[in-house]
């Protein structure tokens, strides 16, 4: 076996590499053994991987190595009260990467410290699943700019205290990725990068237990490929080929791509569709044990070559499974799809039992990790609550999901929402929901009906949902455009590359003039923008919004949701009690745990809430009571 090639490595880097290997190899090795240890060529692949890690570390810039040191010294940076996330598409938000630099003042004005740029890599023309079909991880989509532009942007953001988050789309590549092209030309080495089958025998066997993610565009999980005369595993669209992680060469190759992304200068990688990366016959091939092992192995690789970078889990699955990805040695950050879905549920039902019980069960995670709390994103809303919790409360989960779909697509009598049904399954009738936050909150309908009172109420809903993600603990993540109350954009229906994918209804372009106008013209856009900005500013000025703990409280009013934030150590005695009224009627609340005496940071002028008193809640009011 050849030894490691240090010829491109400085002495200092070599020492650093050896130090990090000594610290983390003991973690990495058993993980690799678990997945690949049975292979006769295991040590060959281990050697290749080690070289990949060394190359990754050696090509990391001095500035990023400094960043590694800073982040290691302050591993909880993502739990601070100053954190505010935003996710946006480069083209929709700013046209291209260069112009995005000129949006930094806007981001700073709002308080953004974490910017997730939706996938910006080379991708097929036409439909590329919004960039989630990657043809080359090392090239920027030329409509957005170049890798140089991206590095410049990363540096500019870093200088302004904004962390860059990039997608790590590692479950699949596009069918135009060089690996997929080689596979299509018959290269067996690259055919082994994917799951290809000569006939339907094995696919049919797998299919017995698999979900269908986009049944509106293709039934099943496999696509016939003419070039190879084989069936290809394609969980998502037919042009997204699932990578075969049972092949250790794939793991090493993807580590190389991951370190390339890390070395651009991002602070977090969003692990796209991570639940699907391991396939196991006889299971639904989601959330498999080895998926966790692989993610931990990727994480250990980061600790060796680029430890400033953390992982964010994108698992939109059963809440118990979501939580299993969250660990210091796996994903330090995770989307919180349960909170997201149940905030919408409470808006529809005006009831909070499911939200309260579910959060009491699932919100708690370890202190070295954090939730990324969001209300809308570029994807559909799936009702991924726990059926068992619903049954306990006497709710039939299937019927309830049907109700929620009806409600948010505006088919339910009295609904305020203007959503669009997504991925309707012709066999089961299941669907999920799309729509912009403001449209789902009722702004669109109120405007259409020229109903001022309904508009005022809808604006309150928009602010209410943000008041929760800004205070509950973790990184609040805004979806670009929501801070301006943008409405559904139905333009995608005229675009042949988009019309079959209704998620485009909430992927809305905006330009400089519009931003300028919407933030100043005095209508609902500005009310929403100013309202969110004000809450962000309050969040940033009190440490209790940061790394303190969260306890979900029981309240005696079924329309209200409450939680308390308190410092884990005795360092700060400050506590925050948040109470939210999900109904359009005034309510009163008694908090069972502890007596409240404090000031409501959200009321103006700041109101004192007295002990022993029943607390009055106006329609859709949130109180942030500091005590």
- Shortest-Cβ-distance residue relative to ligand GLC: 132
CA distances from 80 to 165, 308, 565, 616 (A): 17, 16, 13, 31
Phi, psi of 250 (to 5 degrees): -65, -45
Annotated catalytic residue 314: yes
Q: Which of these, 532, 354, 371, lies nearest to 438 by C-alpha position?
A: 532
Residues near ligand GLC (CB under 6 A): 129-130, 132, 169, 213, 236, 272-273, 314, 316-317, 378-380, 382
What are 463's two structure tokens?
């602010």
Q: Alpha helix locations (H) across 273-349? A: 289-305, 319-324, 337-349
Contacts of 574 (CB under 8 A, 6+ apart): 542, 543, 544, 567, 626, 627
Give the span between the Cα atoms of 503 and 285, in whole angstroms: 25
Give the span between the Cα atoms of 440 and 437, in whole angstroms: 5
* 132 vs 194, beta carbon nearer ligand GLC: 132
* 207 vs 584, beta carbon nearer ligand GLC: 207
DSSP 8-state symbol, 243? B
Instruction: Provide, rounded to whole angstroms, the least separation between the CB of residue 145 and ligand GLC.
Output: 22
Which among 81, 272, 386, 600 is annotated as catalytic? 272
* 316 vs 437, beta carbon nearer ligand GLC: 316
Give the span between the Cα atoms of 447 and 488, in whole angstroms: 12
DSSP 8-state symbol, 284? -
Q: Which of these, 295, 293, 183, 188, lies nearest to 241 by C-alpha position?
A: 183
Instruction: Provide, rounded to whole angstroms, the least separation between the CB of residue 243 and ligand GLC.
Output: 12
Strand, coil or helix: 325: coil
Residues 579 and 625 sit within 8 Å (Cβ to Cβ): yes
Instruction: Provide, rounded to whole angstroms, the least separation between the CB of residue 304 and ligand GLC.
Output: 27
* 379 vs 444, beta carbon nearer ligand GLC: 379
Say what angle helices 11-36 and 289-305 make with each other, to 10 degrees: 170
CA distances from 347 to 47, 73, 134, 377, 499 (A): 54, 41, 36, 17, 29
* 130 vs 594, beta carbon nearer ligand GLC: 130
Instruction: Provide, rounded to whole angstroms, the least separation between the CB of residue 380 and ligand GLC.
Output: 5
Instruction: Provide, rounded to whole angstroms, the least separation between the CB of residue 229 and ligand GLC.
Output: 26
Query: Rg for the chain (alpha carbons), in Å?
Result: 24
Which among 129, 149, 267, 314 is annotated as catalytic? 314
Instruction: Provide, rounded to whole angstroms, the least separation between the CB of residue 14 and ligand GLC.
Output: 38
* 382 vs 474, beta carbon nearer ligand GLC: 382
Half-sphere exposure of 234 (CA within 13 A, CB side): 26
Beta bridge partners of 85: 114, 477
Instruction: Provide, rounded to whole angstroms, the least separation between the CB of residue 169 and ligand GLC.
Output: 6
Residues 222 and 203 sit within 8 Å (Cβ to Cβ): yes
Give the span between the Cα atoms of 193 and 182, in whole angstroms: 10
Instruction: Provide, rounded to whole angstroms, the least separation between the CB of residue 60 and ligand GLC.
Output: 27
Phi, psi of 49 (to 5 degrees): -65, -45
Active site residues: 272, 314
């Amino acid at each position: 076996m050849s030894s490691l090639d240090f010829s491109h490595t400085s002495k200092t880097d070599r020492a650093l590499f050896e130090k990090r290997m000594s610290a983390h190899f003991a973690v990495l090795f058993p993980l690799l053994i678990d997945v690949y240890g049975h292979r006769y060529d295991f040590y060959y692949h281990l050697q290749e991987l080690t070289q990949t890690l060394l190359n990754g570390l050696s090509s990391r810039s001095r500035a990023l190595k400094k960043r590694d040191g800073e982040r290691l010294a302050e591993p909880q940076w993502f739990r601070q009260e100053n954190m505010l996330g935003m996710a946006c598409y480069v083209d929709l938000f700013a046209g291209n990467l260069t112009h995005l630099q000129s949006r930094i003042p806007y981001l700073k004005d709002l308080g953004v410290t974490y910017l997730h740029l939706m996938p910006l890599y080379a991708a097929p023309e036409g439909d590329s699943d919004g960039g989630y079909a990657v043809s080359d991880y090392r090239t920027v989509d030329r409509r957005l700019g170049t890798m140089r532009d991206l590095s410049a942007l990363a540096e500019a953001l870093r200088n302004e205290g904004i962390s860059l988050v990039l997608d790590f789309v590692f479950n699949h590549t596009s069918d135009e990725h060089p690996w997929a092209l080689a596979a299509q030309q018959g290269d067996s080495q690259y055919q082994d990068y994917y799951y290809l089958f000569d006939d339907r025998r094995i696919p049919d066997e797998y299919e017995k237990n698999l979900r269908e993610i986009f049944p509106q565009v293709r039934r099943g999980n496999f696509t016939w490929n003419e070039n190879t005369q084989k069936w290809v595993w394609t969980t998502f669209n037919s042009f997204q080929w699932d990578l075969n992680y049972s092949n250790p060469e794939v793991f090493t190759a993807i580590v190389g791509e991951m370190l390339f992304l890390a070395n651009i200068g991002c602070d977090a990688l969003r692990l796209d569709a991570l639940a699907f990366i391991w396939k196991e016959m006889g299971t639904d091939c989601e959330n498999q044990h080895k998926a966790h092992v692989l993610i931990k192995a990727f994480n250990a690789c980061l600790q060796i070559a680029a430890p400033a970078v953390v992982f964010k889990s994108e698992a939109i699955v059963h809440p118990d499974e979501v939580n299993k990805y969250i660990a210091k040695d796996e994903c330090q950050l995770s989307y919180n799809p349960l909170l997201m879905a149940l905030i919408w549920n409470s808006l529809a039902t005006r009831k909070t039992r499911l939200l309260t019980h579910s959060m009491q069960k699932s919100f708690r995670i370890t202190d070295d990790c954090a939730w990324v709390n969001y209300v809308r994103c570029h994807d559909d809303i799936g009702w991924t609550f726990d059926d068992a919790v619903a049954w306990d409360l006497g709710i039939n989960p299937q019927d309830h999901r049907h109700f929620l779909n009806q409600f948010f697509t505006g088919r339910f009598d009295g609904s305020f929402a203007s959503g669009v049904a997504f991925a309707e399954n012709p066999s089961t009738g299941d669907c999920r929901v799309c729509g912009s936050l403001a449209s789902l909150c009722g702004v669109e309908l109120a405007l259409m009906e020229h109903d001022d009172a309904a508009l005022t109420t809808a604006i309150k809903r928009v602010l209410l949902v943000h008041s929760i993600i800004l205070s509950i603990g973790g990184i609040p993540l805004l979806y670009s455009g929501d801070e301006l109350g943008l409405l559904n954009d139905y333009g995608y229906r005229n675009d042949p590359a988009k019309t079959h994918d209704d998620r485009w209804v909430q992927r809305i372009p905006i330009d400089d003039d519009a931003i300028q106008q919407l933030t100043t013209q005095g209508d609902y856009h500005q009310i929403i923008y100013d309202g969110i900005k004000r809450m962000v500013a309050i969040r940033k000025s009190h440490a209790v919004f940061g790394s303190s703990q969260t306890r979900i409280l029981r309240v005696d009013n079924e329309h209200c949701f409450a939680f308390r934030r308190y410092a884990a150590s005795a360092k700060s005695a400050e506590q925050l009690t948040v109470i939210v009224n999900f109904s359009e009627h005034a309510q009163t609340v008694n908090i069972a745990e502890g007596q409240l005496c404090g000031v409501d940071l959200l009321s103006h002028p700041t109101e004192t809430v007295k002990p022993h008193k029943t607390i009055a809640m106006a329609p859709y009011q949130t109180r942030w009571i500091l005590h």
